[in-house]
Structure formats: C-alpha cells, structure tokens
Structure 1
C-alpha cells in the first residue's frame, strides 16, 4: 500500500543548527528507503514564504498570500512510500529526520481507477 508522509517543520529546522537535521540527513534517509525498495518519491520544499494558495469559491479563483497561512508549522517536504500496513508506514515515518523536531502526517493513498 502507498502512504504519503507529509513533513512539517519550521525553515530553521533545516539549518543543521541545534541538532536539527540538514539536507544531507534527508538525502541519506531517502537513500536508505530507496535501497529497501520503500521510496516511491520524496522532496524537500522551499520555505512557506514561497507558497501560493489558490481557492475557488463560487467559480472565482482567489490567490491567497502565503504569509496568511494558518498552519502551526509549514509543509517542509514529503516522502511517498510503500508499506505493508499503517504500522510499517509509522515505522518508516519515524525515521524521517524532521520527525524529531517537527512532525510527520501519514495519509494512505487512495486507490484510483
């Protein structure tokens, strides 16, 4: 089964300061997942300052300033993994470097036609 692990955390968590992971830690973990045949895709994202949010209400498109986001922590990246079940997905997500200072949300990928 496929699971999307959404990684949330502040931009300063990527500085490598104060025990926070850096980009190399993510590349290393992605490599381990890939070697085990579990990684389908994964990327780190630019900071929330670069985000554009789009809403469509009553047929009208609105673009919302990224600085008005109400999330507690911005989306920082994702890993798309394959796992036997949710328990294995939790195990894989717990190894994501930012899990120690941010959080990782796990969502099953819906089966499509």
Structure 2
C-alpha cells in the first residue's frame, strides 16, 4: 500500500463565516470520511488559521529567520490534512472525493504521494 497526504485548502474567511449548524454538518461529513476510510486513514487534523502559522527560512546571515503567518500570501490556505494508505492514486482519489472541501466552491484537496525511504 502507498501513502498519500491529502492537503485541504480553502478560504479562511469562508471557514470563519460558517454557522454552528454548518460546522456541525461539516464535522459529520468528515466523520463519514473517516468511517468510510477506516484503517486506511492513518491520521489527520484541522489546523489553526493561517495567521497563527510561523514560517522559518534562511536569513541573509546564514541564521534562521522566523516570520509570523504563512510563507506565501494567498487566498487559499492549508486548513487541514489526512494521511491515508491506498492501493494506488485511483483509490486515493475515490476516498478524497468524499471530503466536503471537494464540493465547496472556496476549497479543494491536493493529493500528494508520500516518498518512502528505505
């Protein structure tokens, strides 16, 4: 089985504007994803809002520079992730297609294979 990272992107403002009822429906959709995925879902979490991120990069003096917020200024930010196992990309796509972010106009899911080192 191969491992795939499902990266959930969306608009922070859209997520912040969700009502408690919308969040409850969203949570039920994710619970359904986890139920369907079963043991293939190895882990996953919702992430704090992008302004809460800290980015590290090399400074001009060779040291490390910390910056508040995400590395890039974009409308879509990384909002969460799942690590799954699947037989192949087709199976990963089929499972990821169940996530509510795939159907929302402001978000999407990136599927990226995990590189296995021996």
Interval containing the TM-score (normalised by the shorter chain) = 0.7 to 0.9
- In structure 2, the partner of 1:31 is 35
Q: Which moved more, 1:52-61 or 1:78-87?
A: 52-61
Query: Is residue 45 of structure 2 the alignment partner of residue 43 of structure 1?
Result: yes
Q: Which of 78, 88, 91 does residue 88 from structure 1 map onto?
A: 91
| TM-score after normalising by structure 1 | 0.82
After TM superposition, where is structure 1 displaced by more than 6 Å over at least 4 residues in a row?
A: none
Query: Is residue 115 of structure 2 the alignment partner of residue 110 of structure 1?
Result: yes
Distance 1:91 1:16 in 2: 29
Q: Is there any run of 5+ residues in structure 1 with no aligned partner, and where?
A: none
Distance 1:63 1:83 in 2: 36
1:21-76 CA distance string (max 9 Å, x none): 52332233223212xx2101111111112111111245211112316732330101
| TM-score after normalising by structure 2 | 0.78
Q: Is there any run of 5+ residues in structure 2 with no aligned partner, and where?
A: none
Map 1:13-24; keep pairs closer than 5 Å.
Answer: 13=15, 15-16=18-19, 22-24=26-28
1:55-99 CA distance string (max 9 Å, x none): 124521111231673233010101111111111111111111111
Alpha-carbon spacing, 1:91–1:16, altered in 2? closer, same or farther (3 Å): farther
Question: For the aligned residues, what is the CA RMSD?
Answer: 2.5
